[in-house]
Amino acid sequence: MDEKTEHLRDIFMDVSDEGSVTESQTAGRGSLTDADEATVRARLGETVARMRERYEFRTDLDDEALVTLVREFYGGSSDGAMADELGVDEAAVVEARLDLHLLREADDDVAFDAAAFRKRVVDGDATDDDLAAAFDTDAETAARYRRVVEAQQAARQVSRRFTSAFEDALAEAGLATQLTAATRETGLDEATEDIDSLDSDADVSM
C-alpha cells in the first residue's frame, strides 16, 4: 500500500462510523476485513476525487456517499436499492452514477433511433425540445438520454480509465466486477463505437 492510499484509508476510517458503515457494506459479502474494506473505499474515494476535479459533477452527493454508490453498483445493487441505502430518490442515484461513468444496459434502452440521437447530441446543435420533436418523444426522455450520451462520450474520451480504476481497486481486493464485464458486452459498446465514429479525439490523461 503506498503512502497516499494509506493516508486516504485513514481518512475514511476517521470520518466514517466503523461500527455501522463498514458492517453494512460487508454484509452479505463476507470476504473483507474492516481494514480491507477501508482500503478499498480509500482507493475508490481517490478515483472519485480525481473525477470531481476533472468534471463538473451534477450530483449533490458527497464523496463518501459516491464511494458507497460505486461499491453497491459493482455489488450488483439496483438503482432503487442504492437509493434506499443512501436515503435519496432514484433519480439522484442515476444522476450520480452518470457523473461517475457507471452505465447500465437499461440506460441505452430507448424507443427511437439511438445512433441518430447521439449524432445530434455530439453535434451540439439541438435543445431537449428539438430532440423531443425530432425523435417523437417527450422533453424529459430527451433530456435523460442526452445525459446518458454525455456520460458515454465522457467515458470514451478517457478510454474508460476511471471505471477501470474502480474495477482494479475491487479486483485487487478479490471482489468480483462481473456486472461491468457483462455491461460491456451489451449495446453500450455499440453506442460508444457510434460516438467514436463521430469524434475520434480522446483524452488519455487522468
User: Could you tell me if 98 and 108 are in contact, meaning their C-beta atoms sit under 8 angstroms apart?
Assistant: no
Give per-residue pLDDT as tens, 153-205: 999 999 999 999 999 999 887 775 555 544 444 444 555 455 454 444 445 45
pTM, two decimal places: 0.73
Instruction: Please state the rounded mean pLDDT for residues 82-91.
Output: 97
Task: Please tell me the predicted confidence (pLDDT) of residue 83.
Answer: 98
> Could you tell me which residue, 9 or 109, shows the higher pLDDT?
109
pLDDT tier, 125 (very low <50, low <70, confident <90, very high otherwise): confident
Instruction: Please state the rounded mean pLDDT for residues 36-61.
Output: 95
Q: How many of the other CB atoms lie within 10 Å of CB of 139? A: 14
Instruction: Please state the rounded mean pLDDT for residues 9-16.
Output: 52
Most confident of 4-18, 38-52, 185-199: 38-52
Between vectors from CA 182 to CA 36 and to CA 154, what angle results, nearest 5°?
A: 85
> Is residue 78 scored above 60 in pLDDT?
yes
Q: Say how many CA atoms lie within 13 Å of 188 toward its Cβ.
A: 23
Contacts for 71-79 with beta carbons within 8 Å, 24 or more apart? 71/25, 71/40, 71/41, 71/44, 73/97, 73/102, 73/179, 74/166, 74/167, 74/170, 74/175, 74/176, 74/177, 74/179, 74/180, 75/29, 75/175, 75/179, 76/179, 79/104
> Is residue 128 scored above 90 in pLDDT?
yes
User: Could you tell me if 108 and 139 are in contact, meaning their C-beta atoms sit under 8 angstroms apart?
Assistant: no
